[in-house]
Amino acid sequence: MSTTIAFIGLGIMGLPMAKNLVNAGFTVRGYNRSPQKAQDLAAAGGQAAGTIAEAVDGADVIITMVPDSPDVEDVLTREDGILAHAKSGAYWIDNSTIRPDVAKNLSAQAAQRGLKPLDAPVSGGEAGAINGALSIMVGGEQADFDAVSDVFAAIGTTIVLVGPSGSGQTVKAANQLIVAGNIELLAEAVVFLEAYGVETTSALQVLGGGLAGSKVLDQKGQKMLDRSFEPGFRLALHHKDMGIVTAAAREAGVAIPLGSAVAQLVASTVQQGNGGLDHSGLLTVVEALSGKNQS
């Protein structure tokens, strides 16, 4: 393939996504604030860029995968950033999870500079990024979505255009609301089962085969039983995402009573110093509320 992709942000999710693009035959130039991650991409067949300007120079597609709204705005608008150095007509895909209103605003700025923006947050965690099996919810124009379908296909399996700019981020906010609620209830169920001395691995197996089954149970249940909270998706980031969804719900005049309660529990876990844990570490606050010894 002749398409050159600039990939900005090579973290837990970004690096395996960029590697999958390399494996699909694209030329991928990566930039990361920690240069070693760009070298890791180079070792996998990509190219390391020392600056954003170097990464985006002449690129046909620019992908950003950074933590939060200010980070996206920074890499887009800074002096050596995307808007100043990307070629006109390039596609800008933002795989970050940010506020819908910020996504709309930045998309408009990008379009004014001749870029073709798509807000395209992803779901599936580190495992989905590694396996190229992410769910991608995309906001933008149909023609732009169609033009980069091969790029999306290299990193995801469920890829849906959900509306105009900002819509992808709105759907992602709903996704994070559902995931957080599932994780919280799974944590409560684990603590409940352990209190009764049930063989928990077997219990989760049978629960997973019924209506209680979910990807959250499949991917996070054993981590909770093992108290193994190495981050696939950090609680600090889910805390940020719950702030996005609660603010957006308030702006829309929509009540999310359970979501608001879970947002407070996520916030509590982060404030207790556990923001670096995987979001399955929400179990720790349930244990604390139950008077159990935290592991």
Active site (catalytic) residues? 172
The 3-state DSSP class for residue 76 equals helix
- C-alpha to C-alpha distance for 116 and 86, rounded to whole angstroms: 11
Residue 214 in tokens = 């979910």
The 3-state DSSP class for residue 288 equals helix
Task: Fill in the DSSP letter of residue 294.
Answer: P
- C-alpha to C-alpha distance for 160 and 145, rounded to whole angstroms: 9
The 3-state DSSP class for residue 180 equals helix
Three-class SS string for 226-277?
A: HCCCCCCCEHHHHHHHHHHHHHHHHHHCCCCHHHHHHHHHHHHHHHHHHCCC
- The gap from C-alpha 43 to its chain's centroid, in whole angstroms, comes to 24
Cβ-based neighbour number of residue 113 at 10 Å? 16
- What residues contact 23, with CB distance under 8 A and at least 6 apart? 45, 154
| Secondary structure E strands in the chain | 4-8, 27-31, 47-48, 61-64, 91-94, 116-119, 122-123, 134-139, 156-163
The residue behind tokens 């985006």 is 56
